[in-house]
């Protein structure tokens, strides 16, 4: 059975003789983790881009994921619930930058294979602590 690096941008095949619990091909990939925003989409109208991509992928709800540079944990916005699609504006977020668009279906089940990244700027700001570290909606 072939095992591949968990970094979604790398996808290198792990050698057969590596430890069974090894998930990444290098320390650099382990530092980035399984999710990266390096391939973030950019557009003049990010609301339209987000709506088109999310609906094309079959999502009904979404949240934004943000990780501060050099930090390990992701924070998800809005903190308490998901946004119904299509959205009419970007909610308050902690900083301008690259965000994961985490998608959910009509039953609020996470769709991890369908998420994408987008570069956002010019939106209202909020505190980092207003987000949630829990990705799922309870």
- DSSP state letters, 17-39: TS-TT---SSHHHHHH-S---TT
Contact 93, 119 (CB under 8 A): no
Mean pLDDT score of the chain: 88
Mean local confidence (pLDDT), 106-134: 89
- Dump pLDDT digits (tens) for 6-52: 887 788 899 888 888 888 899 888 877 776 677 788 999 999 999 99
Phi, psi of 70 (to 5 degrees): 80, 0
CA gap 14, 116 in Å, rounded? 25
Q: Give the end-to-end CA distance of the chain in Å, rounded to a whole number.
A: 35
Nearest to 82 by CA among 63, 55, 60: 63
Query: Residue 103 pLDDT more than 80?
Result: yes
Dump pLDDT digits (tens) for 40-91: 889 999 999 999 999 998 999 999 999 888 788 899 999 888 999 999 999 9
The pLDDT of residue 138: 66
């Amino acid at each position: 059975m072939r095992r591949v690096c968990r970094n979604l941008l790398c996808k290198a095949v792990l050698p057969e003789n590596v430890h069974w619990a090894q998930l990444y091909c290098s320390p650099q990939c382990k530092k980035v983790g399984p999710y990266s925003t390096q391939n973030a989409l950019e557009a003049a109208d990010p609301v339209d881009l987000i709506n088109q991509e999310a609906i094309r992928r079959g999502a009904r709800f979404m949240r934004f994921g943000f990780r501060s540079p050099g930090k390990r944990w992701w924070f998800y916005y809005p903190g308490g619930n998901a946004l119904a699609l299509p959205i009419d504006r970007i909610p308050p977020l902690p900083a301008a930058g690259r965000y994961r668009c985490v998608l959910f279906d009509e039953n609020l089940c996470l769709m991890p294979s369908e998420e994408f990244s987008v570069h956002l700027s010019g939106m209202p700001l909020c505190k980092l602590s207003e987000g949630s570290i829990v990705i799922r909606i309870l």
